[in-house]
Structure 1
Amino acid sequence: MAALNSALLLLSVCGRRMFPVSRIVGGEQASFGKWPWQASLRQWRTSTYLHKCGAALLNENWAITAAHCVENVPPSDLLLRLGEHDLSTDDEPYGFQERRVQIVASHPQFDARTFEYDLALLRFYEPVTFQPNIVPICVPNGDTKFVGRTAWVTGWGRLYEDGPLPSVLQEVSVPIINNSVCENMYRNAGYIEHIPEIFICAGWNKGGFDSCEGDSGGPMVIQRQSDKRWLLGGVISWGIGCAEPNQPGVYTRISKFRDWINQILQF
Structure 2
Amino acid sequence: MSRDVPRSPRDRILDAATGLLADGGRDAVTTRAVSAEANVQAQTIYRHFGDMRSLLQTVAADGFQRFLTANTRHEHGTDPVGELRAGWDLHIEFAQANPAIYTLMYGERRLGPGGDESTQVYEVLRRIVERAAAAGRLALPVDTAAAMIYATGIGVAMTLITTDPATLPAAQSLSANTRDAVLGAVTVDASDRATDRTADDVARHAIALRALLSHGNEDLSPAEAALFEQWLGVLARRRAAAADHRGGSSPA
Shorter-normalised TM range:
under 0.3
Query: When the two structures are superposed, what TM-score results if normalisation uses the length of structure 1?
Result: 0.22
The structure with the largest alpha-carbon Rg is 2
If asked which structure has higher relative contact order (CA below 8 Å, sep 6+), I would say: 1
Query: When the two structures are superposed, what TM-score results if normalisation uses the length of structure 2?
Result: 0.22
In terms of fraction of residues, the more helix-rich structure is 2
In terms of fraction of residues, the more strand-rich structure is 1
